[in-house]
Amino acid sequence: MYVGHHIAFLQLSKVAGIKMTYIPEKGGVPAMQSVVAGKVKAGFNNLSDAFRNQGRIKILAVADLDRHPFLPNVKTFKEMGIDIDDSSVNFRGVAFPKGVPQKIIDKCADVFPRMFRDKKVVKKMKASGSPMRVMTRAQVLKMFQQREAYLKGLLKKLKKK
């Protein structure tokens, strides 16, 4: 199982031609604490965690296709000529176990995007440095199908020595 941080790590290791050691943590906060405390020399961390700790760390680059508005001076790896794309970007969403009535899924698919357009929610997300990409259920299903196919191919290439 690969998470976004590990994918970006593999991409950097491959394109830079360097051997690194991946040290998994039990979540974004412990991963950031390892960087802040100097337990590791560097880390791929959640953008929101980096944003909240920018006074205590040096953010070298963003592993996405575009710079983020709340870190406008931090270049993307691509801008620096390093072939790391947005494969490590984590998406958050809501999933239900099999068997949940379609009526409930449809209701949530309607309500959740509206919730993330609420001015108070948007303000809190911005304050915490949490990027938002609000999508409909149909957009999410299509995007995940495309990403799954892309990531399977990418991981095969990255695991080759």
On whether the CB atoms of residues 74 and 61 are closer than 8 A, the answer is yes
Q: Does the predicted model carry a pTM greater than 0.85?
A: no
Kindly report, residue by residue over 51-75, the tens digit of the pLDDT.
899 999 999 999 998 998 888 999 9
Task: Show the domains of the chain with their CATH numbers.
Answer: 4-159 (3.40.190.10)
Q: Where are the alpha helices (DSSP H) in the chain?
A: 4-16, 28-36, 47-52, 102-115, 119-127, 137-159
Mean pLDDT of 118-135: 88
